[in-house]
Amino acid sequence: MSTTSDAHGFPPHAEGPPAARSRSTRGRPAKSPLSAEAIVDAALEICREEALDAVTMRRVAAELDTGPASLYVYVRNREELLRQMLDRVSGDVALEEIDPARWREQVHDLLERWLRAMEAYPGLASVAVGNPPATERMMVVADHLLGLLLAGGVTPQDAAWGIDILPLITTATAVETDVHRALGHTGEETVERIQATLSAMSPDRLPNLLRYGEELVSGDGDQRFHFAIEVFLAGLVARGSG
């Protein structure tokens, strides 16, 4: 990003807009100048092209033509780097103005945009699993979602609890997408394992699963994702009207 031509000047400050460093310390041709932003950029790039597993401190550092130790000036540890990556990506989620007449549709759209944003970075969604989405940009999305539920007439208490669950479904769906993608590599093994498990079991231990096998495997990820959201919203509405 930028910076190749930046004028000379200042060492990374903790404050202010992270601009360029110039330090031609080592014969560095045209590389990015090390800043929290540049580090997150590099990490996201690696994640997008490979996967989250490939985002190691060493790999990120190598991408920036430096050693792993240098990153720790700008990033407390790997965990925080991953959080910042997720935060950044959440910032890409566009927020439509709330239209109470279309609130349900808007919830679907918002969560789908969030899903797509995460799916662009294989593995990143797993960072969001189970811990509070308490970074700045994620909170903005959560706030908007809360606004949508309130606009739909959901009671404040239900809405407040609901905005935990909807991102949860979204996140889990994204993780599932990641796994299914990874199955491209190890898929046969997994399928074999499952089939082996199945054929080793007495069929009458799974009467329902076997009977409705077709329904179980039907639909793609998107359909199932929107189904889950729709059911949850329907549940919220049903409660509110009671």
Question: Which residues in this chain contact a copy of itself in the complex, by CB under 8 A?
Answer: 125-126, 129-132, 134-136, 139-140, 142-144, 146-147, 150, 156-162, 164-165, 168-169, 171-172, 175-176, 178-179, 190, 193-194, 197-198, 200-201, 205-209, 212, 215-216, 218-219, 224, 227-228, 230-239
Q: Residue 2 binds what, of DNA, a copy of itself, none (CB under 5 to 8 Å, by partner type)?
A: none
Q: Residue 4 binds what, of DNA, a copy of itself, none (CB under 5 to 8 Å, by partner type)?
A: DNA
Given the complex with DNA, which of 78 and 226 has the nearer CB atom?
A: 78
Q: Are 100 and 61 spatial neighbours (Cβ–Cβ below 8 Å)? A: no
Given the complex with DNA, which of 69 and 217 has the nearer CB atom?
A: 69
Q: Are 135 and 87 spatial neighbours (Cβ–Cβ below 8 Å)? A: yes
Given the complex with a copy of itself, which of 35 and 170 has the nearer CB atom?
A: 170
Q: Residue 56 binds what, of a copy of itself, DNA, none (CB under 5 to 8 Å, by partner type)?
A: DNA
Binding site for DNA (CB under 7 A): 3-5, 8-14, 21, 23, 25-26, 33-34, 55-59, 66-70, 72-74, 77-79
CA 126 to chain centre: 7
d(CA 88, CA 217) in angstroms, rounded, equals 34
**167 class by beta-carbon count within 10 Å (0-12 exposed, 13-18 middle, 19+ buried):** buried
Given the complex with a copy of itself, which of 73 and 206 has the nearer CB atom?
A: 206
Q: Are 38 and 55 spatial neighbours (Cβ–Cβ below 8 Å)? A: no
Q: Are 42 and 63 spatial neighbours (Cβ–Cβ below 8 Å)? A: yes
Q: Are 32 and 66 spatial neighbours (Cβ–Cβ below 8 Å)? A: no
Minimal distance, residue 88 CB to DNA, in Å = 18
Residue for token pair 């919203």: 233
The residue type found at 15 is E
